Chains A and B, each alone.
Chain A
Amino acid sequence: MKGHITCTVCPVGCKILVVSKPNGEYEISGNRCPRGKQYAIDELFSPKRILTTSVKVLHGDVPLVSVRTDAPIEKSRIFELMEKIKSISVEAPVNVGDVLVRNIDGMGTSLVATRKVEKNGSPLENCQISG
């Protein structure tokens, strides 16, 4: 297996070529520094990202709470997890660091709040108007 990646360790942005050899080792070229080596292998074979987005808040002073995964998740699963996140809502108040969804990816990664949302102060706005 082989592939190209753009290194993001520093601003240079080396185009690194990674070729996996039958003996399980990798042949790496195009990196101008040693830091690019491990990055290239990780990025090519198991790319991961921190996912940041927002979750709907009920009865909050603002409609959304910003969230992040507390560890990088597999890049290929970002849209799957986004669907899950879009389907949930949380009740105000929310605090920075609150775990909103435990083990969201089945790999032990949690979704945590990155901002504070107070309960809505106005009782009128908390009322559900029906009919």
Chain B
Amino acid sequence: MIQQLKTGVLVIGGGAAGMAAALSASRAGVEVTLLEREEKTGGVLNQCIHHGFGLQFYRQELTGPEFAYRLQNEMAQHSVKIISESYVRHIDTKNKYVEVISPEGVFTIQAKAIVLATGARERPFGALQIPGDRPAGIYVAGLAQRMVNLENTLPGKRALILGSGDIGLIMARRLTLEGMEVLGVVERLPYAGGLTRNVVQCLEDYDIPLYLSHTVVEVRGRRRLERVLVSEVDDNFKPINGTQKWFDIDTLVLSAGLIPQVEDLGENLEIDAINKGFAVSNTCETSVTGIFAAGNNVAVFDLVDYVAAEGWIAGQNAAQTVQDKKRTSKRIPLIRGKNVGILVPSYITPEEHLRVYLRLRKPMDKGTVVLKELNIEKPFQYGVPSEMINFVVNRDKLQELKKPVRIEVVE
């Protein structure tokens, strides 16, 4: 017979967002169950052994494992029930009914509210459509990081990094420290995708070249990767003739972006077309009442601190749903205007403070974030897409709100 469990709040995913959600829901006094795919909670924090986390959430600079450890300790103190090595097979979002597979077999969970905290996946090599062979030796950066930091295995001897997102920069340093030769980081945009601090401390510190406006145009190798062709590109990312150069490498590490993990998680939940994640309001509620989402499955955030903070809010609101506290689910659209790329949230519930996170579409020396309908102007200097602009609008300012709000960035 299939085991049938019941819980108040069910959290799916034990990374930063899920752990924070489980913790805040539990502190609010409801029964919480957390499903984790791996043996232990922590998510990608476990393999992010570098420091630079927690400055906002814990007011202290921590490494990834230390950040996870704090949340794990607090969850243990608040008796969050964790079911590890479990995999969600299906979610009935309407009835809050979940089917789970684990080494012990198949079981079901009936919840009163659900927090989806499934994180993001890396854009794979296949999605880049680079011509040539398909040999071994091509890794997404997170896999290379997992091998080096958790499994004590080096992926190869000579590497090139494609994409200059933070994880690519971090891996350039990490592989160098562990004895690999890193020939460079290749970025098709004319500026680095990651933080300046990482460009300096991961590349310049180790004399690793950063090839801006370059990309890999061909991959060669019989069984193992042998070489890749790198070309300069123009403004439309078209290779420029005569700029090609071969790099002899056995390892190509991809840092080509993250994609929110939304597949197979309730087909009736609205997805934001630009974020590619669940469209949520500032209570972290999705388009289905009682189903919440937080973290990188909503939009790819720049800091784990924001992911944890959003998870915390999701957990609080999920707990309120369980406790039948009076909540409205009024959802007023927050609409993207000029120069706004990734934007969280997609909707405004006026009863809650509005925390806005946005990414610029391009670097700007200075600009102003404008929410005309709310009479809000937030000037900033030196904004870059890699760092989210975030601010809070007090709910007092939202009370009269009835019509959609447009958010734009003017130069």
Contacts and interface: CB of A to CB of B under 8 A. Distances in A.
Contacts of A54: 49, 149, 152
A107 B388 CA distance: 38
B51 interface: yes
Contacts, number: 73
B174 to A, nearest CB: 8
Given A6-B204, A54-B149, A63-B152, 14 more contacts: A11-B386, A12-B381, A12-B382, A49-B205, A52-B49, A53-B49, A54-B49, A63-B151, A64-B150, A66-B49, A78-B177, A82-B177, A96-B66, A96-B69
Contacts of B93: none
Contacts of B152: 54, 56, 63-64
A78 B202 CA distance: 12
B201 interface: yes
Given A64-B150, A66-B63, A6 B205 contact: no
Interface residues of A, number: 27
A10 B205 CA distance: 18
Contacts of A78: 177, 205
B213 to A, nearest CB: 18
A66 to B, nearest CB: 4
Nearest to B66: A114
Contacts of A49: 201, 205
B50 interface: yes
A116 B68 CA distance: 11
A75 B49 CA distance: 18
23 contacts: A8-B196, A8-B200, A8-B201, A11-B196, A12-B381, A12-B382, A49-B201, A49-B205, A52-B49, A52-B51, A53-B177, A53-B178, A56-B152, A63-B152, A64-B149, A64-B150, A66-B63, A68-B63, A82-B177, A114-B65, A115-B65, A115-B66, A115-B69
B32 interface: no
Contacts of B66: 96, 114-115
Nearest to B195: A11
Interface residues of B, number: 29
Contacts of B46: 115
Interface in A1-32: 6-8, 10-13
Interface in B137-157: 149-152
Interface string A49-78: 110111010000011101110000001001
Given A54-B49, A62-B150, A11 B387 contact: yes
A49 B204 CA distance: 13
B63 A11 contact: no
A115 B68 CA distance: 9
Interface in B368-406: 381-384, 386-387
B382 A52 contact: no
B222 interface: no
Nearest to A79: B177
Top 9 nearest A-B pairs by Cβ distance? A115-B65, A13-B196, A66-B49, A8-B197, A12-B382, A63-B152, A114-B63, A114-B65, A52-B50
Contacts of B50: 52
Contacts of A96: 65-66, 69
B69 A116 contact: yes
Given A68-B63, A78-B177, A114-B63, A11 B51 contact: no
Contacts of A82: 177
Nearest to A6: B200
B21 interface: no
A96 B152 CA distance: 19
Interface in A93-121: 96, 114-116
Contacts of A12: 196, 381-382
B199 interface: yes
A41 to B, nearest CB: 16
A14 to B, nearest CB: 9
Contact of B149 (A7, A56, A66): A66
